[in-house]
Amino acid sequence: MKQGFHFLVTLGALLFAALAAAQGLPIMELQAGFHRIEAEVANTPQTRSQGLMQRRAMAQQRGMLFVFTETERHCMWMKNTFLPLSVAFLDADGRIINVADMQPHSEDNHCAARPARYALEMNVGWFARRGLKPGDAIGGIERAPQAR
């Protein structure tokens, strides 16, 4: 049973990586305390606009890092997104500004509480289950590619 679960998790991670590669998205490793994150990077207008739309599943350690061209009060929405997600808005140093839970197919805006440079989307509740809150840092953000 345990081997089957690990196989499915590995298979899911490989499928996610294949989908990201097919979309031409780089994947980078981030850390939240001792939690490892495999984040697809959306750093172009097209990839930021597409985000996680049309995805039906995402492994628990996976997410998407949005790299913005400007530090502003960015907002996210869930049009054409099937997964419930949590978004953490981050400052230029990778510190969490605020976290918002977002429901699938909603056109409600979820905005940064103050100007943000990044947004990190994970499965809904990911940040809360790990006790991550405003002021906590996401490590590795300095290696993110520049926004275009």
Residue 53 belongs to some domain of the structure: yes
User: Average pLDDT over the chain, rounded to whole?
Assistant: 89
Q: b/e map of 134-147 (b: 16 or more CB within 10 Å)? A: eebbbebbeebeeb
Q: Which residues pair with 99 in a beta bridge?
A: 88
Report how far Cα 54 is from the mean position of its chain's Cα atoms: 15
Residue 2's pLDDT is: 59
Residue 94 belongs to some domain of the structure: yes
Residue 141's pLDDT is: 97
Residue 138's pLDDT is: 98
Residue 1's pLDDT is: 54
Residue 24's pLDDT is: 72
Three-state DSSP state, 79: coil
**Residue ranges, the chain, pLDDT below 50:** 5, 9, 11-14, 16-22
Range of the domain at 71: 2-143
What's the domain count of the chain?
Answer: 1
Residue 37 belongs to some domain of the structure: yes
Residue from 112, 41, 36 nearest 73 by CA? 112
**CATH number for position 41:** 2.60.120.1140
Q: What is the signed CA dihedral for 5, 33, 52, 66, rounded to 10 degrees?
A: -160
Residue 124 belongs to some domain of the structure: yes
Q: What is the pTM of this model?
A: 0.85
Residue 69's pLDDT is: 97
Q: Which residues pair with 28 in a beta bridge?
A: 39
Residue 148 belongs to some domain of the structure: no
